[in-house]
Structure formats: C-alpha cells, structure tokens
Homo-oligomer: A and B are copies of this chain.
Amino acid sequence: MAKEITPRSEDYSQWYLDIVRKARMADTSPVRGCMVIKPHGFAIWEKMRDALDAMFKETGHVNAYFPLFIPKSFLSKEAAHVEGFAKECAVVTHYRLKNDPNGGGVIVDPEAKLEEELIVRPTSETIIWDTYKNWIQSYRDLPLLINQWANVVRWEMRTRPFLRTAEFLWQEGHTAHATAEEAMKETRLILDIYARFAEEYMAMPVIKGIKTENERFAGADETFCIESLMQDGRALQAGTSHFLGQNFAKAFDVQFLNKENQLEHVWATSWGVSTRLVGGLIMTHSDDEGLVLPPKLAPVQVVIVPIPKPAPGLMETAEKIAAQLRAKGISVKIDDDEQNRPGFKFAEYEMIGVPVRLGLGQRDIDAGQIEVARRDTREKNSVPLDTAVDHVVQLLDDIQANLFNRAKAFRDAHITPADSWEEFEQVLETKGGFISAHWDGTTETELAIKERTKATIRCIPVDGKAEAGKCVLTGKPSSQRVLFAKAY
C-alpha cells in the first residue's frame, strides 16, 4: 500500500480523494465546488477528447461554439425542460465592477445591472435551438450534426472531483433531423459510440440502456445511457444520448419545408459525456498503490528508469529503445533525473499510473536483458534486450485487454438477480452492484424503492430479453428485468 493512500477496504471514498490528489489529477480551488484540473489529469482528458472527437467526425459531425450565457427567459420556453431541470445555476446580474470609493478594492457597479439576467449554461439546448431556427428552412438544411466542447455550470451542493463539480468540461451534441426515425437512429448511433469508447479506450465495461421516465432528461422523449460499475459496487452513469422528439423544435418554433413543400417541426437529439468520465476511469481500475491507466489513455505509456543512475552506456541503450518505441507511436519518457533514487521513481510512476516501466542497469546490459514491470498486475520480469520493443508493444495491448477483462469479470459478478423483496434488500446491503429485478413500470414503485433503499433504476437494458415476472416490490406483472443500483 502506497504511503498516504487510504486503502479501498478501509474507506473507499477517502481512497478516491487520495488518488486524485496523490496522482496529481486535480486540486481544490478557492471557488466553491470548482476544481483545478492539473496537467496530468488534463492530459488524460485531452486523450479522451481527441478519441471521442475523431469518432464524432468519422460519423459526419462537426464542431461549433455557442455562447456561455443563456438569457433567463429561454429556460422557460420548453415546459418539461424548465420543470425538470435543476435550477441550481450561476446567474449573471451585472456587467461592470468599479473601484470602491471607500478604498475597499473593487465593488460591483450598481448602475451596471442587466435588463435580463444571464444564466451560465447548465446545458445548451435552449440557446442552440434558438439559433437553429435561423439555420433550418428546408429539408436540404438537414440533418444538422453539431457538437460542442465546452464548460458548463450546475451549482451542485455536494461535490467530488471529476464526479460532480459545479463547473465541468464536456461535449454536447445537438442534432436536427427531418424524421423521427432518423433522429432515433442518431440517438442510438451515439449511444454505440459512447459504449465503444468506454470499452475500447477506457477499458470500462458498460451496459447500454434506457432511462425510466423518472430519470429521463428534462425535455426528452427518451433517454439512453451507458452505465458502469465502480469497485465499491456503486453504479456510475457515464454518458447519455437523448431523443428529444419535436419538443425543442416546437418550443423554439423550428420548422422546415419537407420534400412535399409542407412545413414540419424538426426532430432532435442531444448527447453528452463529461470530465466525470475521468472519475469513472480512476474508480474502475486504480488500486491502493495509485492510479492505474489503460495504455490507450495514458499520457506516458512507457517510462525508462536507468538504475542506479544514468551512465553513458545505459543512456545510449535507453535512448535507442525509446526511439524504437516512439517510432511505433508509443509515448515514452526517460527519467534521467539524478536527484531521485530508482525506488522513489518506481513508487512515483506507480502512483501516476504509467502502464509499463522499464528498469535498465549495467548488469542488465551485460546480461543482454531489461526489466519490464507492468502496472496493472505489478508483475516484473526480465526480457532479452533485442526483443524488448516487440515485447512492450504486445504488453501494452495485453494490459489494455487485461484491464477490460478484469473490470468486466468484476462487473458481471456483480449483476445479481433478485426475485423477492427480501433478496433485493439483502443483495443491496451485502454485495452491492447491479440488481436485476422485475419492476411494475410505475414511477410510484420506482420512488418507493429509492425511498426505502437509496437504489435507483439505472436503466432498462437495451439488450435485455423479454421475460414475464412479478415486480420485486409490488408483485404486479412485469415483462422485463431492469437494473437497480446505488449510484454516484
């Protein structure tokens, strides 16, 4: 167990905070609920962003940028949106400061009050649909497939770095289509992209599902989601893709002339993932020694540490290996800092999650070998120098696969069927994880279960099979199991 990291078994919540701090992912800030994303944490987010951005672009989406501020009146335009969306928003009321005539620094100039307050965007459907009104006239303007990378603000009361912060970074896609079918196809396409990204890049297995009406996005006709499971048995909603029907088009009066020259309202989707994914990444793979990163998202994939300290012959070999790895597109760091000992460096690179560490001493060179340590299993072994590069390339793939398989085995072992209320409560209290159970389909029952256990319906799995059964609480008939869990 690494110094200054609380073991997971002792206090999972503190362990998470320790990892965030010791792996230099984020720092607190003087602004309530806002964090500073430190360079190491930001480099991981950049890799996530770049991979997702490429997937969006491959499927025909383009990026744009809409204003940070939303006129207050816009939020009232879509009835379900205003009713259901959290009202904890940052409100801009003034546009000027002035020097305090009494010498107390700067004060807000009371004469610079806005006529209409501006809301710092909590999400951008309203301002974007107000804009789309001017961009869409005919079916030839459709589909409109736009994404935005942006910061948003929701004034959360209880915050945790990455998982829930007042300001966070995200992407929000907002698309417009001529038909309901096309919009639904887009909603599902994005859901698939999110799932593929989570599994192939983050090595984080996810379940694709549909949210219940109660958990649906305010203003959506249907919300799809990917749900993942953390090591403490709590679920994490990792991304959502909404089929918005014609709700926003009607609220903002966005109509188009179809091929038959008739006016119709446009069909819409919106979808997003955020820096919350970084929290999910940490909690899926990391251990009591620090951060564990899948190679595809590691800012540094391989570190080479000369032992006991850099010497001309050692450095030459280290640089040769580094160059060969870099030629294969692998990011490599050589740590030739003489002020720290190898033991200190080893602990440090374990802490920040570098997937592969190569140790290279004179004795290794004499024996024609190099020491290879993998972060995921913490195994070490020596491999011949002349096959080291191929070995490392293969090892990075193995680590990526191993992390996914390990997380998937854990997740699969934590989907427990429950066929009675007793069983439901027992599984939740002793084992946690997802509970697969029948539910009668009413919001009333859903809320009653939440009230009693804090467990919520995470989703109705899209790949779930039809199965007649009885609601775990009410005994009323049900046609499919849904997944319950306590969630972040």
Contacts and interface: CB of A to CB of B under 8 A. Distances in A.
A38 B63 CA distance: 8
A264 interface: no
B76 A105 contact: yes
A30 B68 CA distance: 12
A373 to B, nearest CB: 25
A397 interface: no
A71 B74 CA distance: 27
B92 A98 contact: no
A222 to B, nearest CB: 25
Interface in A58-99: 62-76, 82-83, 87-99
B27 A146 contact: no
B88 A64 contact: no
Given A42-B65, A43-B62, A134 B27 contact: yes
Given A105-B75, A118-B31, A39 B62 contact: yes
A105 B78 CA distance: 10
B87 A64 contact: no
B31 A71 contact: yes
A46 interface: yes
A60 to B, nearest CB: 11
A274 to B, nearest CB: 13
A39 B63 contact: yes
Contact of A87 (B74, B88, B90, B106): B106
A443 B428 CA distance: 73
A34 interface: yes
How many copies of this chain does the complex contain? 2
Given A76-B105, A117-B108, A93 B95 contact: no
Contact of A106 (B38, B76, B95, B140): B76
Nearest to A153: B68
A135 B38 CA distance: 10
Given A65-B42, A75-B105, A339-B140, A127 B89 contact: no
A273 to B, nearest CB: 16
Interface in A286-319: none
A482 interface: no
A473 interface: no
Q: Which of A27, A43, A88, A91 has the most chain B CB within a 10 Å cutoff?
A: A91
A36 interface: yes
Interface of A: 27, 29-31, 34-39, 42-43, 46, 62-76, 82-83, 87-99, 105-109, 117-120, 127, 130-131, 134-135, 140, 146, 150-151, 153, 155, 167, 169, 339
26 contacts: A27-B135, A29-B67, A30-B130, A31-B67, A31-B70, A37-B64, A39-B64, A39-B146, A42-B62, A42-B63, A43-B63, A69-B90, A72-B108, A75-B97, A87-B96, A87-B98, A87-B106, A89-B95, A89-B96, A90-B95, A91-B97, A91-B108, A93-B93, A97-B119, A140-B339, A150-B151
Given A30-B127, A34-B69, 20 more contacts: A27-B134, A27-B135, A29-B67, A31-B71, A31-B118, A36-B65, A36-B131, A39-B63, A43-B62, A46-B63, A65-B169, A82-B105, A87-B96, A88-B96, A89-B97, A90-B92, A91-B94, A91-B97, A92-B92, A150-B151
4 shortest interchain CB distances as A-B pairs:
A76-B105, A34-B67, A39-B62, A37-B65
